[in-house]
Amino acid sequence: MAADHDQPRTKAEWRRLLRSQRSSILPETRELEGRAITKAVASLPMVLPGKSVCCYVPFGSEPGSPDMLEVLHDAGARVLLPIVPAEPGALDWALYDGPDSLADGPLPGLLEPAGRRLGPAAISDASQVLIPAVGVDHAGVRLGRGAGYYDRSLPLTAPKTDLIAIIRDLELVPRLPAEGHDVRMTAALTPGTGLVMLPR
């Protein structure tokens, strides 16, 4: 990692830096990363048949692949996907039941589940939450896009829920600015390393 990463930054500065790095990633590299992340998701030891797992459909430069949803679904997990609320607040959730269960969301290119909405509290039933992130540090501090949807949603999770941020390898950094409301990740999942456990 470049020495530049070791300098203190505000969240906004970190977000600009990491998103700038993402913008330079070639499409073929993203495809390879997506396959690696799907393979890592398939090998997660904590995914159990019948248990709820919250995931997401990758949007824009977010790492991951829609194939990871199929892997979870085929493993027998009850896969829940987020729905962006019309007003700032916690995410709503609905069941994923294959690609045909997805519909266009409020932003161009964003796909959301079209089924019955289960409410923000549905995340409390999840044994794992796979979360998009711009960056994560070694203490589990997560940096998101800045809209605050996950900041409002993650406090609703159960105490022993596995919170797994999906990022690229260079986005796991030594230290990010932390705030009192931040919910710490318990692991990061990257295409190069796979699952990296973080302090609870």
Give the domain CATH number at 121: 3.40.50.10420
Q: Which range of residues forms the domain containing residue 7?
A: 3-197
The string of pLDDT tens digits covering residues 153-188 is 999 999 999 999 999 999 999 999 998 888 999 999
Q: Cβ(196)–Cβ(172) under 8 Å? A: yes
User: What torsion do the CA atoms of 188, 70, 101, 133 make, to the nearest 10 degrees?
Assistant: 10
Cα–Cα distances (Å) from 98 to 2, 66, 95, in that order, read 40, 10, 9
Segment 27-76, tens digit of pLDDT: 999 999 999 999 999 988 877 788 999 999 998 889 999 999 999 999 99
Beta-bridged to residue 173, according to DSSP, are 137
Q: What is the pLDDT of residue 9?
A: 80
* DSSP codes of every residue in 14-80: HHHHHHHHHHT--HHHHHHHHHHHHHHHHT-TT--TT-EEE-----TT-S--THHHHHHHHTT-EEE
**136 has a pLDDT exceeding 50:** yes
Q: Give the pLDDT confidence score for residue 7 in this predicted structure.
A: 61
Domains identified in the chain, total number: 1
Q: What is the pLDDT of residues 72-94, one digit of tens each?
A: 999 999 999 999 998 889 999 99
